[in-house]
Each structure stands twice: as structure tokens, then as C-alpha cells.
Structure 1
């Protein structure tokens, strides 16, 4: 009975973490390796097959003398402490491992995306998930039912705050007066406030009061007239004074003190507003991005990791795959930057499929930067770009058609559903669909390839590795 309860708790924790990370940085491929007791066999929870290609590496790691030594030396741990375990170094992942009093070992592994600003907020999130799972396992009376899951799923702002707090402690020590929750709330409120119909553009630097005297002000305000951060409309109006310049509003975490464009003291947090989004930095290191809805972990550049994985399943040389990725990335980035949708057909068959459109007399070689720029301009015209496996543009304004199918999504537009229909009839074709509101979909064989966000996590997925292979 107790084992069944533990399985349910683990599955619910994985599901909550998956939903939260899916919103924060676009990937919810997560896995957990866990041992409840030192003498038990490690169990693998891998609903999305993240560890499928690394089974042997994991097996060697779990049997390594270094890990065994760490597990045996952790007798001092109390209910609220943990011992950090050696890093599980799996390519293109972020991992956090620890052992606690009632869980001998837990390793959380998350897929790392190429457009991630910083892995540190993710590590703080995994640390929190590990602690909540430990508390749930300890709970014998089921008093915490669903409480931790809600906290884990909505931990984005807290993960950012935890990382900022760690950085600030390293830079200035523990005795500092800056309240990060107040600052983060202010940033989101300003990001969601328009002034005369326009979104905020400019920057605010949050300087710790202990070092604010080191700032060289261009202009400062009398203490009794300094706008408080609670007065969002006033702060939003003041940002217009630094728009389109290197100047920054300077805040002590409570009020707007003045304006400066000199070098900022160590331990400064900067919110760089760029319209409907912005970036949060600590001492010039990008921590995350933000929108009017909250904080996100991506740098807002196109993420074509899914396309890269898919291209590796075709018989393409490394040079051909890289050329296709490069031209696709640049065209997608151009479309996203100008907020228009587009479709790109990567035709990997021999010979290429005929598509009705405006054909070119001679294919345009997209290995040449000038030709990529021209193709990006063609993408603004209704219809799809048709590119062959040699990264040559064959036609633009191409019409994608096909019979209706059950997988169509009425919540998406004609561009998306046309790509579903067309790719279902042509198995050697990959279609990249860019929506005007930025999302990217990779369509292959009539469905969205590797679509994992929103996928329900269960305890026993079919592709879960057999945990008995890790026994002694």
C-alpha cells in the first residue's frame, strides 16, 4: 500500500514539474531516478524517453565508487537538509541530484534547450521539487495532498528570486536590504502597463541601498518626491525618459531615485523593457526574460532543437543538415522579429515534390547570406517557401493542400492545418510553421513532431527503462 502511494506521489510531482517547466522554457521532457532506501534498486521515471539513449552511461554512474561513497557518508542529514550528489553529466540536459533523510537518492533530469537564458533558475526549481517530494514521502497522514504540486507548478518567479538571492549574497554578502519579490512584482506590473497605447521600452536598475552612493547620477530626485515602486503608472511614465538611450532609471528597491548612464555598482539587477517583453540581468548576466504574463527562461530566439533531432533521422550529411538548420533559423527569426507568420517546406526527397507556387528559373542557394535575406522577404508573401535538401529555394508563395484529416486543430489557423494535410501525403517533407504570435510548430507525417507540452505524465510509460538493470 505504501509503495503504491509513493508511486502516485512521484507521478504527481513529475506532472506538476512538467507543466511548470513547459510554460517557463518550452520543454517538459523530464526524468527522475530515485532510491527510497540505500539498499533498494534505483527506479526510473522517464515518461518522455529522455534517458533512452543514455542507459549505459546511467548504469555506470549509479555503480560508480564516487556515488556510493557520497551515499554512505550522508548520515548527518536532518529532515530539512540535503546532501548534494555528484552531477549526472548527460549531454543536453540539466540535472540536480541529492539525498535526504527519507529518500536515499534522487536525480532530476530536464532536457536543456538551446534558447535557455540560464540554467540556474531551473536548478533552483529542481531543488524545490526534490524538497517537496521528500516532504510528501514523509507525510504519513496525507495532509499535503496536492499542495506541493500546486507550489511546484507555479514556482517560476520563486526560482528566479532564489537565483538572484544567491547571486546577491555572493556579490554583497547576506546583510542587504533589496527585496526581490517587490522588484519582480514591479517588473511584471510595468511590463503589463501601456502608456498612451505603447508598451514600456527602456531600463530600470535596482541598486542595493548600501552601494547606491556609488552611482554617478545625471539627475536625481528629492527624497520626498521620489516615485514609489507601488505607483506603477508613475514609474511607467518615467521610463519614457530613458527610452531609446543607454540611460537607466535607478531604484533602491523602494523608490525611483534618479537617472544614470554610468557604470553600475556590483550586485545590480537591471530590467530591460523591449516592448511586450524584456530581459532580467544581474551584473550584465542574463537571468531570464519576462512578458506581461510572467517570467520565462528563454532568450526569445528561435528554438529549432526539435527540427535538428528530426533531421538526424534522415540520410543527410552533417553539412546538409547544418545548411538547412541555418537557413531555417534565419528565416524564422526574421518572421518572428516582424511578427508575421510563414511556412517553410523542407523537401528531403529525391526528386523534390512538385508544389504549386511561384517557381524560380534557377534555385536560390541558401548557403549564401544575401539569398537567405531575400528568402526571408519572400516569406512575408502568402504561401510557403519550398526548399530542397541541398538548401536551395525552389519556389515561394507555394500552396499546400491535401484531404481533411482527424488530426486537424480548429484552434489553429489555415497555415497550420494545411501543413498537417500536406505532410500527411508526403513523408519526405518537413514543414516549419511560424505563427504571427511567435510559436513554432514542426509538422511531419501529418502531426506535430515530438509535441510534448501538455502531455499527461503517468507512472509506467511504455518507454520507461527496466530499473532492474541498475541493481548490483
Structure 2
């Protein structure tokens, strides 16, 4: 097999596995690579889904008008990452990671930074795996390994989370640790999928460094011979019932559950917060990732209202009013999602409010008052939409009906709420509708168009040799 053919096939398998793995860990994701095989090679770019389109000026200035990226090109047989302080290119909306090795002089990987990520750390570790695979395969030149490389990159969520935790704890000074992270992560996924008397787990499990246990405020401790092992999923699930909806936590040393404690935890501890069918993994106070459906994910599970914010900027409302409205709408949407019942919010931005059929009040509810906001959240359970005055931040009605003529883009799979919102907004230009589904997704709709529709990128086909960066920019 020729050098060029191997290069094409190697990059294709690694990029396709990386893209597929990240799309399951986060939202649909793209990946791109800029690389140079030898110290004197011109940079080439592989960007089959146009992730880097729009960044041409920065890429041109960094890679074509400067040679700083070639500094320290000579390196040993082992791959090393391009660290902070070394010349690198930062592109808004992307996560990047670069590396150098003897077999691949320079490589810089890119993927999307989604706005709802708990942390970019696990994704960076994923890019590190891709860089390592590329260097290794260019070194061995064994085409039989390429299918395996792509497959491995599809299933790296647990490894990426684990490596990020280990790296962060090492950075915080915990190099000599007795905590084994993999067993804890396996236990978290096992417990999260285990019901007890029909109920999903709730409560918190904390893993503390054994040398720090004397600083834990234990309420009770279990005898050494009766401490449940973390791998005993059913036992741990039963014990969680003792700390549900309380400030108490189960404390572990990474292998066994030692007892029940309360108060702040010492050192660089790990914690898993179980909240029914989903939960969050933290390193001290920092979110690492979420978990649900038997796997880890990057999403913080909060509603993303960026599209609503963009629409409000065009209304002429004061920035203070926009901020207040966004906070209130975010609270209502997240509360509805947590309770797992759908609702529809009709946000009226017109100077003269639309008259909607439904249940109204003698005086509208002021949503900036806590008690009335709580009432509005309860009214969201009823069939029909909530009619909100965006400018006054008040609730004018509930149980409201939306009607309209059929429009393109209707989707029977999305239900009556979604399709009614498409029809209604198509006939009322000053209306923005937020549809919250009972299974957690939200849709923001205006002028008969869903603004939050996910992009479905085409599958990567077989690649020809990646073009020179200079040619790509010129095209």
C-alpha cells in the first residue's frame, strides 16, 4: 500500500471513530485535523464536515504567515502534547488539542464545544486518544490495526472521564493516591440503573482519600467486616435510601462504603449525585459529567435558551428586562423538565398583547414574585399553554389554545404541542413558543420554524488525501 493511500485510510478510520464517539457523549459532533507528517511538510487539513469553515483568517495567519507552530518540531519516539505556553491556535466554539511525535511531526485536533457541557476535560482526553492512535499507526504502518483504532474511539466515554479525573487530581497534588477510579465509575453506572421497590436511586455517594478520612464528620461507621463493597450494586442501592433528600452522604474509600456522614468533605474527593434516572459526577465542587441511560455524557442537562436570548435582543427590550425574563423562563423550563411533564410557554414580545383563548386572571401574575412564579410552575401541569407577557414579565393566562393553518415542517412524531406551536407562530410574528417535552428535550419556535433543530451531519465517506491547508483556504 502506498504512503498516500495509508495516510488517507488511517485518518479516515480515526476521524470517523472519534466523531461517532463524541456524538454519543455529547450532541452530534464534528471533528477536524490539521497536520504535518515531517518537520518540513506543508500543513494539510482534514475537515470533511466543515467544522473550521469561517476560521480561515486565523488559520492562515497562524499556519501560513508564521512558522511558530513548527517550533520544537524535533522530539523523541514518544508522543508529547502541545502544552500551554507553546504556540497554538484558539478558535471560538471549538475544543482543540495538539501533539508531536517522531512519526507525526505535528497534529492539531478540533471538535465542537457545545454550550451545555459540564466540562471540556473528558473531550480533550478523547482528542488525546485520537492523537495517540494517529501517531501509533503512522509508526507501525500496519493497515490491519486501523479498524480497531476507529472502534476503540467510538467507546471511550468511561476512559475519558477516568483519565480526566486522574489528571485533575494529579494537578491538585494527589499523585500518590489510593483511590481507584474505574471501580467507582462502574459502581455509579450500576447503581444509577438499579431500582429499589420501583424507585430510581436518589442521594449522594462520596469517595474520600483514605488518608483524609479522619477529617470526615461521620454520623455512623460500619464495622470493617460489614462494610459493603462498591461492586455490590444492590446493597449500595439499598443504602442510598438512608440519605435520600437529606444532607447526609454515603462515604467510601473507593472500594467499600464506610458509613454515613454529613458536612463538607476533605481533599480532592469524588462524588456522585443520583437524581432518579440521571445524575452528576463531580470532582470536589466542579462538574465532570452527567450520567443516564447506562453511560456518561457531557451535558449538564440544563435547558439551553441561547436562541430565545437572540430573539429577545431584536425586541428593543432593556437588557435588564431580558435578563430577568431569561432567568424566569429558565427556572420554569428546568422545573418542568425535572418533574417530567411537558408544557408550552407562549412568550409574547408585542407592545399590544395577543388575545388567546384560555383561562385568564383578574390581575396577571407577576412572575418576579417568588410565590406567583411557583404558582405559574404548577399551572404548567395543566393542558394548554401559558401566555407570558415578555415586557412586563407577567402571566396572563393558562390552559391557552394555539391554532393555525398547516405549515411545512410539521412532524407527526413530535406530537400536538410541537405542531400546534409551528402553526401558531407562523401566523403571529411577535410570538416565541417554547415547547418542553415530557422526555426532557425542548424546542424554541418562531415564525413556524424550530430554532433549536439539531443538525444531522452526513456520514463521513471514504476520504481522498486531505488537501494542503493553503489550497483549502484559497478554495
TM-score relative to the length of structure 1:
0.82
Residues 293-312 of structure 1 show CA distances to partners (whole Å, capped at 9, x for unaligned) of 22222332212234445666
Match of 1:90 in 2: 91
8 Å CA contact retained: 1:30, 1:110: yes
Deviates further, 437-446 or 161-170: 437-446
- C-alpha RMSD over aligned residues: 3.7
Match of 1:345 in 2: 346
Structure 1 position 166 matched with structure 2 position 184: no
CA distance in 2, matches of 1:301, 1:160: 20
Does the C-alpha gap of structure 1 residues 263 and 405 become closer, same or farther in structure 2, counting only changes over 3 Å? closer
8 Å CA contact retained: 1:99, 1:105: yes
Deviates further, 254-263 or 158-167: 254-263
Partner of 1:381, secondary structure, is: coil
Partner of 1:238, secondary structure, is: helix
Q: Aligned-pair distance for 1:29?
A: 5.1
Q: Aligned-pair distance for 1:291?
A: 2.5
Aligned residue pair count: 464
Structure 1 position 414 matched with structure 2 position 413: no
Does the C-alpha gap of structure 1 residues 306 and 64 become closer, same or farther in structure 2, counting only changes over 3 Å? farther
Q: Aligned-pair distance for 1:193?
A: 1.2
Q: Aligned-pair distance for 1:184?
A: 0.4
Structure 2 counterpart of 1:43, from 42, 45, 55: 45
Partner of 1:75, secondary structure, is: coil
CA distance in 2, matches of 1:244, 1:394: 34
Match of 1:259 in 2: 260
Residues 207-255 of structure 1 show CA distances to partners (whole Å, capped at 9, x for unaligned) of 2334445545332222222212222111111222223333322222222
8 Å CA contact retained: 2:44, 2:469: no
8 Å CA contact retained: 1:279, 1:286: yes
Deviates further, 329-338 or 75-84: 75-84
8 Å CA contact retained: 2:178, 2:209: yes
8 Å CA contact retained: 1:15, 1:456: no
Does the C-alpha gap of structure 1 residues 449 and 427 become closer, same or farther in structure 2, counting only changes over 3 Å? same
8 Å CA contact retained: 1:327, 1:391: no
Does the C-alpha gap of structure 1 residues 262 and 373 become closer, same or farther in structure 2, counting only changes over 3 Å? closer
The answer for unaligned runs of 5 or more in structure 2 is none
CA distance in 1, matches of 2:18, 2:164: 18
CA distance in 1, matches of 2:454, 2:139: 31
Residues 445-464 of structure 1 show CA distances to partners (whole Å, capped at 9, x for unaligned) of 5454353454334479xxx9
Deviates further, 346-355 or 54-63: 346-355
CA distance in 1, matches of 2:23, 2:418: 21
CA distance in 2, matches of 1:375, 1:429: 19
CA distance in 1, matches of 2:20, 2:392: 36
TM-score relative to the length of structure 2:
0.82
8 Å CA contact retained: 2:68, 2:87: no
Match of 1:468 in 2: 471
CA distance in 1, matches of 2:103, 2:429: 50
Q: Aligned-pair distance for 1:154?
A: 2.1
CA distance in 1, matches of 2:367, 2:8: 51
Q: How does 1:311-390 map to 2 (within 5 A)?
A: 314=314, 319=319, 322=323, 325-346=326-347, 356-358=357-359, 373=374, 375-387=376-388, 390=391
Q: Aligned-pair distance for 1:430?
A: 3.9
8 Å CA contact retained: 2:79, 2:100: no
Does the C-alpha gap of structure 1 residues 439 and 167 become closer, same or farther in structure 2, counting only changes over 3 Å? same
8 Å CA contact retained: 2:202, 2:274: yes
Residues 63-89 of structure 1 show CA distances to partners (whole Å, capped at 9, x for unaligned) of 575xx3342312114254444454533
Q: Aligned-pair distance for 1:5?
A: 5.8
Does the C-alpha gap of structure 1 residues 404 and 137 become closer, same or farther in structure 2, counting only changes over 3 Å? farther
Q: How does 1:108-187 map to 2 (within 5 A)?
A: 108-138=109-139, 140-171=141-172, 173-187=174-188
Match of 2:402 in 1: 400
CA distance in 2, matches of 1:396, 1:216: 48
Q: How does 1:7-26 map to 2 (within 5 A)?
A: 7=8, 9-10=10-11, 13-26=14-27
Residues 238-288 of structure 1 show CA distances to partners (whole Å, capped at 9, x for unaligned) of 222223333322222222222222543323212222222222222333222
Residues 111-162 of structure 1 show CA distances to partners (whole Å, capped at 9, x for unaligned) of 4344322221222122222223444555644213332233223221111100
Does the C-alpha gap of structure 1 residues 178 and 34 become closer, same or farther in structure 2, counting only changes over 3 Å? same
Q: Aligned-pair distance for 1:387?
A: 4.6
8 Å CA contact retained: 1:205, 1:269: yes
Match of 1:75 in 2: 74
